[in-house]
């Protein structure tokens, strides 16, 4: 059976690499190269563009958060007497706040890693998935609330 980890697994991209050491036979003699791996620390060079990339990513996340909060405020402002629209606008605002908090958290975390010249990994697996799921859930909820509202008017 084929292991999925071998097919879809990541390669080690850390700056800490394994150096192949000599193979030692049972008598204690060096029998070749390749068996024992020793870890060594390789210096990481941080280019100036890395700082700007971190800031650019932060600004992109903040742009999305400001857009969501603007939509939320607009929905609440123009909802008039419709209570469901006001509820949807108020549900969308915590989603925008979550985007802001996540963006700030990741910016600070990555900037500290860059300053320390930490080899990584710099990517975040679950943050965008969770935020996208929350946003999708709020949009789907709005869709079904509007569908229910249209069906109850008749």
- Which position has the higher pLDDT, 136 or 17? 136
86 by Cβ neighbours in 10 Å (0-12 / 13-18 / 19+) ranks as middle
Single pTM value for the model: 0.66
Count CA atoms within 13 Å of residue 132 on its CB side: 5
Give the mean pLDDT of the chain.
Answer: 78
pLDDT, tens digit (0-9, with 9 covering 90-100), for 47-65: 889 899 999 999 999 999 9
Q: What is the pLDDT of residue 8?
A: 56
Tell me the C-alpha to C-alpha distance, in Å, between residue 95 and each of 76, 111, 136, 146: 15, 24, 10, 19
Residue 127: which residues within 8 A CB-CB, separation 6 or more?
A: 102, 106
pLDDT, tens digit (0-9, with 9 covering 90-100), for 124-153: 889 999 999 999 998 898 888 888 877 887
- Which position has the higher pLDDT, 118 or 39? 118
């Amino acid at each position: 059976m084929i292991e999925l980890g071998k097919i879809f697994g990541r390669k080690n991209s850390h700056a800490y690499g394994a150096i192949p050491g000599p193979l030692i036979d049972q008598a204690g003699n060096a029998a070749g190269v390749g068996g024992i791996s020793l870890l060594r620390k390789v210096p990481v060079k941080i280019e100036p563009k890395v700082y700007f990339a971190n800031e650019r990513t932060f600004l992109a996340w903040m742009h999305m958060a400001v857009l969501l909060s603007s939509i939320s405020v607009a929905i609440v402002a123009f909802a008039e007497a419709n209570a469901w629209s006001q509820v949807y606008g108020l549900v969308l605002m915590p989603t925008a706040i979550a985007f802001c908090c996540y963006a700030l958290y990741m910016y600070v975390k990555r900037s500290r890693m860059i300053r320390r010249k930490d080899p990584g990994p710099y990517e975040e697996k679950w943050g965008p998935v969770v935020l996208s799921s929350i946003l999708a859930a709020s949009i789907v909820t709005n869709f079904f609330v509007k569908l229910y509202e249209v069906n109850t008017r008749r």
